[in-house]
Amino acid sequence: MAVILLRLLFITICLPFIAAQQSNDSVPVGASLTATPNIRPWLSSSGEFAFGFQQVQGNDNFLLSIWYDKIPEKTIIWYPEEGRMVPRGSKVELLRESGLVLTDPQGTQVWRSGSISGVASGFMNDTGNFMIFGSNSSKIWSSFDYPADTLLPTQVILRGGMIISKRSKTNFSGGRFLFQLLEDGNLVLNTRDIPTGNVYDAYYSSDTFDSSNSTNRGEQVIFDTTGYMYLLRRNGQTFTLTPRGLLPSGDYYYRATLDSDGVFRQYYYPKNPTGNSSWEVIWFKPDNICFSMSGVRDSGACGFNSVCSFDGNWPSCECPQGFSLLDPNDPNGDCKPDFTPTCDEVDSNNAGDMFDFIELNGINWPQSDYVHMKPTNEESCKSSCSKDCFCAVAIYANAQCWKKRFPLSNGRKETSPPAKAFVKFQKGDPRPGTPSQLPAKNKDQKSLILVVSTLFGTSAFVNIILIGVICVGFFVIYKKKARNIYPISKSNIETNLAHFTYQDLVEATDGFKDELGKGAFGVVYKGVIGKQIVAVKKLNGLVQDGEKEFKTEVDVIARTHHKNLVQLLGYCDEGEQRLLIYEYMSNGTLAMFLFGETRPTWKHRSYIALGVAKGLAYLHEECSIQIIHCDIKPQNILLDEYHNAKISDFGLAKLLMMDQSHTNTGIRGTKGYVAPEWFRNMPVTVKVDVYSFGVLLLEIISCRKSLVFERDNEGVAVLTDLAWDYYQGGRLDAFVENDSEALDDYKRLTWFVMVGLWCIQENSTLRPTMRKVVQMLEGGIEVAEPPCPCPFSITTCKL
């Protein structure tokens, strides 16, 4: 009896769970899914692919999609045409007479799977293909036949087929780029004008076309089960897409995606991922998208007025100085001038008094010129532009001058010939390049709920900081990580780094007379080379590992180009002497700015915080070699004449490292900013910079130093603790010392503090990446409630 009872109990309680554990790849007619978080999707039999709703960008945006369910990133590989987001409560249903139907909570149809009927069942295939079968078991619809931006093994594109990029990384509506197998057999990448659908010329072409019906024209793009992609010609010959021998051996997922930057890339990801697995690139087309669109009528790889740069792997778009993004959420989009372009009546005699120029080095917009003058000189090039009301920008290179009109297209970094771009603006306008408005946060933001929780562990944290004060050494960690297995040709990446003799620099600095500052790496002097003011850094404590090593590292630094990084201009390695020449930053360090006599405005401060975050995100994710800074603090952030924040001293780590074979041999960094993992036997990753950035962000927000010496209780208050105290007590007004400008912008203030608290989490895996930090600071993604940044264990360090 008891046994029977037990059995009954087992059946009633456990069976439903067992059933729920099993995946059922077959979807009966009438089945439906509702868009709510954590709803169980329809899984393929191996559980590798899932069909359902993914929450994208905030809580209330759901995307009907198919994704890799077994990898942490849940990469989305399919979504219906146009990638429309639907709100919570929307529903997808498999209906006998209409196939898949997506409806919003009001019951309005948003999308359906074409005009099909007579549906018998649906099926989530282990290949990632969602299929619909008719009553005679024949396939009547499949997601593979309606690809989004991604192709998978076993998928085929026929003539006339295409895939479309996403608008941006987080916006799934159709973007500017198309991958098409044209009717004539040619495989091309095109741009298009989104509103009109007008397609421009190709920026990549396989040239496998033949209009005369010949047998070697392209017929199908095939992604085979082993991971190779190729173009099958009519006569059975193949045109290789995946280069032979490039696929890694082992068990991998493969996908090929037309990314939102316009590059078509094939990726792989291990089926048995380790902690640090990510999608790695096998090959991509075109080779350098910044240079591949010259003949194409459109804005180029980036938006209008934007500038494209390519580090050998990833292109990036950036608004030049004096411009800012038209849509702050679209970093690859158009840039608008921060000044008002005018075409007023110009009195040619005093045009020079009316206009001024922003000088941009190494940037060109090779199209959009309407006048070409040669030979000429720089002065007459500029003056001709001032007097010409149409002229927006003059490019001067090699004794030639090109006058250009807005909007500028195909902007890119060009070092040979060394072009100079002069952007014209009217004097009296606010000086372009000064803090531009920060993007506005979505109005429909939910109000933030401040959770009051107990603060604990303060003293342990103080301990750790104090230990840091003593333990700090000048050791260095440098982690080198090749991003990509694709062999990158070095010649892609040109550096126009100048080499100087020691005597040159003695002259430039007038015998090292004017000292600008001292740092861990050496002393910095002011100097003048040509007409340019420079900062000359004399390195000390260098490892004697030969000139070649030095040059290699210097090249790595020189290859970084970002608005928020101090640009390296040249170097000297003569005998024992190692010097680096940087651009000069006229407004000194962020420390002077923040903790000086007058409190800088909130607008300036938030602009600077965003700039530092962008610079770090670039070092972490966009350079061909990842650079961990290891010593982010206000003394290492410099400000240019427009108060743009620029990170300095990055990439020097390796030059000072004693023993490269050790990773975590000592602490590098500065008290108050070093992440807890330095004190523990834990690997040092980019997250140490995120930690230091978090401290810096809280300093920028509050204008308080990371270690605040309090008069009354003779102790040291740690800013990170203060921030948490004030935040969880709802006292941000006190945290910013009643800074009325910041309090007027209370929402942004709150989310900035929250981002800061996320960055200083003890557990480094909880800290966001710098890319995410940028998105959060920009208001592009919502910031979740941060947990207490308290230590989770107390390490004792007997001294």
Ligand X SMILES: *[C@@H]1O[C@H](CO)[C@@H](O)[C@H](O)[C@H]1NC(C)=O
Q: Which residues bind ligand X (CB under 6 A)?
A: 22, 24, 26, 28, 61, 85, 118, 123, 125, 127, 131, 134, 136, 138, 154, 167, 171, 173, 213, 274, 276, 481
Cβ-based nearer residue to ligand X, 145 or 549:
145
Cβ-based nearer residue to ligand X, 374 or 481:
481
Q: 713-718, long-range: CB within 8 Å, 24+ apart, which pairs?
A: 715/462, 716/462, 716/465, 716/466, 718/458, 718/461, 718/462, 718/465, 718/672
Cβ-based nearer residue to ligand X, 39 or 399:
39
Shortest CB 79 distance to ligand X, Å: 12
Rounded to whole angstroms, the Cα distance separating 81 from 249 reads: 34
Rounded to whole angstroms, the Cα distance separating 127 from 48 reads: 9
What does residue 109 show for φ and ψ, rounded to 5 degrees?
A: -70, 130
End-to-end CA separation in angstroms for the chain: 68
Shortest CB 154 distance to ligand X, Å: 4
Shortest CB 785 distance to ligand X, Å: 23
Rounded to whole angstroms, the Cα distance separating 639 from 642 reads: 7
Peptide bond into 315 cis (omega under 30): no
Rounded to whole angstroms, the Cα distance separating 122 from 573 reads: 68
Shortest CB 14 distance to ligand X, Å: 17
Cβ-based nearer residue to ligand X, 671 or 771:
771
Shortest CB 85 distance to ligand X, Å: 5
Annotated binding-site residues read 538
In three-state form (DSSP H/G/I as H, E/B as E, the rest C), the secondary structure along 140-204 is EEEHHHCCCCEECCCCEEECCCEEEEECCCCCCCEEEEEEEECCCCCEEEEEECCCCCCEEEEEE
Per-residue CA distances from 646 to 415, 567, 585, 650 (Å): 21, 9, 9, 11
Closest alpha carbon to 448 in 779, 719, 735, 701: 779
Residue type at position 538: K
Rounded to whole angstroms, the Cα distance separating 782 from 772 reads: 10
Shortest CB 516 distance to ligand X, Å: 37
Tokens of 292: 């591949």
Tokens of 160: 């006339």
Rounded to whole angstroms, the Cα distance separating 64 from 496 reads: 48
Tokens of 748: 């942004």
Q: Strand 139-142: give its sheet, edge to edge.
A: 26-28, 119-124, 130-134, 139-142
Per-residue CA distances from 575 to 351, 544, 546 (Å): 51, 10, 10
Shortest CB 642 distance to ligand X, Å: 29
Annotated binding-site residues for ATP read 538
* Residue 76 near residue 103 (C-beta atoms within 8 A): no
Closest alpha carbon to 327 in 164, 173, 150, 148: 173
Residue type at position 301: A
H or E stretch including 744? helix 740-744
Tokens of 770: 């710098």
Shortest CB 25 distance to ligand X, Å: 7
Closest alpha carbon to 611 in 779, 740, 438: 438
Other CB atoms within 10 A of residue 212 CB: 6
Shortest CB 471 distance to ligand X, Å: 25
Cβ-based nearer residue to ligand X, 246 or 498:
246
Cβ-based nearer residue to ligand X, 133 or 525:
133
The residues facing 318 across adjacent strands are 307
Cβ-based nearer residue to ligand X, 24 or 400:
24
DSSP string of 360-392? Answer: EETEE--S-EEEEE-S--HHHHHHHHHH-TT-S
Catalytic site residue from 311, 338, 504, 631: 631
Shortest CB 129 distance to ligand X, Å: 6
Cβ-based nearer residue to ligand X, 56 or 708:
56
* Residue 458 near residue 728 (C-beta atoms within 8 A): no
Cβ-based nearer residue to ligand X, 292 or 332:
332
Q: Are strands 498-499 and 568-574 parallel, antiparallel or unpaired?
A: parallel
To the query of whether residue 287 is one of the catalytic residues in this protein, the response is no
Distance of CA 458 to the CA centre of its chain: 34
Shortest CB 304 distance to ligand X, Å: 15
Cβ-based nearer residue to ligand X, 134 or 161:
134
H or E stretch including 502? helix 502-508
Rounded to whole angstroms, the Cα distance separating 149 from 257 reads: 6
* Residue 423 near residue 320 (C-beta atoms within 8 A): yes
Half-sphere exposure of 507 (CA within 13 A, CB side): 7
* Residue 656 near residue 638 (C-beta atoms within 8 A): no
* Residue 692 near residue 667 (C-beta atoms within 8 A): no
Shortest CB 700 distance to ligand X, Å: 28
Would you call 564 helix, strand, or coil by DSSP?
coil
Residue type at position 315: P
Catalytic (active-site) positions: 631
